Structure 1
Amino acid sequence: MKPLVRNAALNSYIELSQSLGIDPRTLMKRVGLDPVGLAVQDRWISGVAVTELLELSAVAARREEFGLLLAERRRFSNLGPISLVLREEPDVRSVIRLLVRHERMYNEMLRSRLTETNGLATVKVSLELGEVRQARQAVELAVGAFHGFLRVFLGARWRPVSVCFTHGAPHDIAAHRRHFGPVVEFDREFNGLVFYATDLDTPNSMSDPLLRGYARQYFDSIAVASETTELDRVRELIEVLLPTGRCSMEQVAGSLGVDRRTVHRHLAASGETFSSLVNAMRTRLAEQMVANPRRSLTEISGLLGFSAPSAFSRWFRDQFGISAREWRTRRAATGPVPK
């Protein structure tokens, strides 16, 4: 199946796009992503869609360094729960090894590797998209973010020996030099960072040895719980695709990198169908949205993927036994309404 990434991969995307004069909502919908969904950082979305979005945004903004500009806004906490454990690791070597070992917890298409030789340490970064696709912006975002994370532990004045990219140089490399210093190189054989191996021995000043054990225990518990099934992935994609009006078996199968028969087989093995999952997701979301008086029923109809408000009204009455308007009134007056 095609790789997924956490919504956090697009942290600050909307703000950056607006600052550059492009419409993030239009571009996100074009690749099948929901702007509202970005509010939930731990939700998983298509890595291919994110990669395409970054390329489209760079063209629309006429900024070849779009991915790097997004990396400059990246925060350490964007890594999610693993950031809590990294803060307690004893040194930089332990931090990088843990980050590399558990990269699939925050980005399934990222492949990174740490090597040490002749006094130099190299972190190589690559992306596995499951298909041939332009990924310049996503690569620069990944390398830029890795560089930023290292500076959290090595200090703002730290500079690597070199920063390498396999693609060619942009017309204007000012942004790259501002971010990395004069050591950035293009048309190299790998994407990544080269720095002195002694930097790996730098103690982590944020670490508290008394908390390290607790942090590791917590991490071990969520690392196990983070394993998602095909059924979980389909549910997540349905929730993401419903507001776009493109929630279909074909669209979900395409996002997962398989054909619809494969999706059908996985669902059947769990005693589910695509229709049953869509209906269950709509029911759960409808209860949340209709209870919110600030959302119009017409807006909710669109967010749940209905072609017209009348279709939503019929579905809601069939599902809950009363109209959405009446359900909202009773909910406001008496609390939860029984189905």
Structure 2
Amino acid sequence: MKPLVRNATLSNYVELSQSLGIDPRALMKRVGLDPAGLAVQDRWISGEAVIQLLELSAAAAHVEDFGLLLAERRRFSTLGPISLVLREEPDVRSAVELLVRHEHMYNEMLHSRLSEANGLATLKVNLELAEAMAARQATELAMGAFHQVLRTFLGARWQALSVCFTHSAPTDHATHRRIFGPVVEFDSEFNGIVFYGSDLNIPNPMSDPLLRTYARQFFESIAVSRDTTVLDRVRDLIEVLLPTGRCSIEQVAGSLGVDRRTVHRHLAASGETFSSVLNATRAQLAEQLVTNPRRSLTDISGLLGFSAPSAFSRWFREQFGCSAREWRARGTGQRPTGEQRPPAVGRRRTAGRA
């Protein structure tokens, strides 16, 4: 399966494109991305499509630094749930190591590495692509994002010793100088940021020791290995697509960067179908949502992707043997004796996937 990235990778893409006089929606459709989907930050989309989109956008806007301009508009929270944990790490070293170790939770194409030697620290940044393609803009976006994270911890006046790019220099260096300072090197042997190793020992000014344990516990509940299966990906995409009303195998396949037959094939290998995974995911979410008295059943119907409350009511009774209102009235959320739990897919929580 081709690598994916979170929708948040394109945070502020529409605004930047419009400011440069290009049509972001037309360009997104050209590479097979759904413009409306950008509203769901934690949805996963094709990494290769994002790379192509950034290159097309740079060409259409006649700028060589589109990716860097996009990085400049990012916020710390763009990283998603992992940003909550990073904020409470005790020092820069632990924060950067955590970000590198769990990069697959926000970008499956990214392969970064932190090393130290002779008093210097080097954060190398690479994109692992399934096939050769121009990726200058995506590389500069990733580099700009990492540089921004370091400045979040080290202060706005912090400056690296050198910021290296393997690609050639742009005609105009103004954006690079504004963001990185006069330390940018092009035609380098690697893409990365070099700085003093002692910077890694600087305490994190945002950290609250009282919250650190809670942050770590939260992280352990959402952290996943790199060996996420196609079944996991489909299940998580269904969860985030249900509230949009556009949860279909076509939407899921598009997010995974494959066709629907490929999704069917992978699910069949796990003994599942798209319908079975959709139904099991809905059932699990329904159990959680219906027991919450603060949510109306009409709202829950929409969150589960039903076109009307009546459709939700019929489905719920078929699945649980009683109405949603009766289930809630019992107050415990326990299934009556003799009722069978609907077929469910084995599930584990993931960060930012749904």
Q: Name the TM tier (shorter chain).
A: 0.7 to 0.9
Deviation digits for residues 65-115 of structure 1 (CA, Å, limit 9, x no counterpart):
000000000110111111111111111111110100000011000000011
Assess if the C-alpha contact under 8 Å between 1:71 and 1:141 holds in 2.
Answer: yes
Alignment partner, residue 257 of structure 2 = 255
Assess if the C-alpha contact under 8 Å between 1:165 and 1:187 holds in 2.
Answer: yes
| 2:9 partner amino acid | A
| 1:121 partner amino acid | A
In structure 2, do the counterparts of structure 1 residues 159 and 253 end up closer, same or farther at CA, with 3 Å as the change threshold?
Answer: closer
- Residues of 2 paired with 1:120 and 1:263: CA distance? 46
RMSD: 3.5
- Residues of 2 paired with 1:193 and 1:155: CA distance? 16
* 2:123 pairs with 1:123: yes
> Cα offset for 1:267?
1.7
Question: Identity across aligned pairs (percent)?
Answer: 70
Q: Aligned ranges for residues 299-314 of structure 1 at < 5 Å?
A: none
> Cα offset for 1:175?
0.9
> Cα offset for 1:208?
1.2
Alignment partner, residue 135 of structure 1 = 135
> Cα offset for 1:278?
9.2
Alignment partner, residue 186 of structure 2 = 186
Alignment partner, residue 208 of structure 1 = 208
The count of corresponding residues between Structure 1 and Structure 2 is 293
> Cα offset for 1:40?
1.0
Deviation digits for residues 29-53 of structure 1 (CA, Å, limit 9, x no counterpart):
1111111111111111110011110
Alignment partner, residue 42 of structure 2 = 42
| 2:95 partner amino acid | V
> Cα offset for 1:132?
0.6
- Residues of 2 paired with 1:59 and 1:11: CA distance? 19
Assess if the C-alpha contact under 8 Å between 1:253 and 1:263 holds in 2.
Answer: no
Deviation digits for residues 148-181 of structure 1 (CA, Å, limit 9, x no counterpart):
0100010000000000000000111111111111
- Residues of 2 paired with 1:76 and 1:181: CA distance? 20
Deviation digits for residues 112-133 of structure 1 (CA, Å, limit 9, x no counterpart):
0011111111000000121111
Q: Aligned ranges for residues 315-326 of structure 1 at < 5 Å?
A: none
SS in 2 for 1:170: coil
In structure 2, do the counterparts of structure 1 residues 177 and 89 end up closer, same or farther at CA, with 3 Å as the change threshold?
Answer: same
- Residues of 2 paired with 1:248 and 1:90: CA distance? 41
Deviation digits for residues 209-258 of structure 1 (CA, Å, limit 9, x no counterpart):
12111111110011149974313434639969x97x99399x759825xx
- Residues of 2 paired with 1:49 and 1:252: CA distance? 10
In structure 2, do the counterparts of structure 1 residues 246 and 132 end up closer, same or farther at CA, with 3 Å as the change threshold?
Answer: farther
> Cα offset for 1:272?
3.8
Assess if the C-alpha contact under 8 Å between 2:3 and 2:108 holds in 1.
Answer: yes
Alignment partner, residue 162 of structure 2 = 162
Assess if the C-alpha contact under 8 Å between 2:104 and 2:226 holds in 1.
Answer: no
* 2:338 pairs with 1:338: no
> Cα offset for 1:3?
0.5
> Cα offset for 1:338?
2.9
Alignment partner, residue 176 of structure 2 = 176
- Residues of 1 paired with 2:125 and 2:203: CA distance? 24
Q: Which runs of 5+ in 2 are unaligned?
A: 282-297, 300-304, 316-354
- Residues of 2 paired with 1:80 and 1:165: CA distance? 26
- Residues of 2 paired with 1:48 and 1:193: CA distance? 24
- Residues of 2 paired with 1:20 and 1:336: CA distance? 44
Deviation digits for residues 280-339 of structure 1 (CA, Å, limit 9, x no counterpart):
99xxxxxxxxx99xxxxxxxxxxx9xxxxxxxxxxxxxxx9xxx8xx6xxx5xx895536
Assess if the C-alpha contact under 8 Å between 2:105 and 2:224 holds in 1.
Answer: no
- Residues of 1 paired with 2:222 and 2:228: CA distance? 12
- Residues of 2 paired with 1:207 and 1:187: CA distance? 38
Assess if the C-alpha contact under 8 Å between 1:51 and 1:137 holds in 2.
Answer: yes
TM-score relative to the length of structure 1 = 0.76
SS in 2 for 1:38: helix
Assess if the C-alpha contact under 8 Å between 1:234 and 1:252 holds in 2.
Answer: no
Alignment partner, residue 85 of structure 2 = 85
Alignment partner, residue 297 of structure 1 = none
- Residues of 1 paired with 2:64 and 2:264: CA distance? 41
| 1:338 partner amino acid | R
Alignment partner, residue 152 of structure 2 = 152
Q: Which runs of 5+ in 1 are unaligned?
A: 282-290, 293-303, 305-319
| 1:247 partner amino acid | E
TM-score relative to the length of structure 2 = 0.73
SS in 2 for 1:338: helix
| 2:185 partner amino acid | E
* 2:53 pairs with 1:53: yes
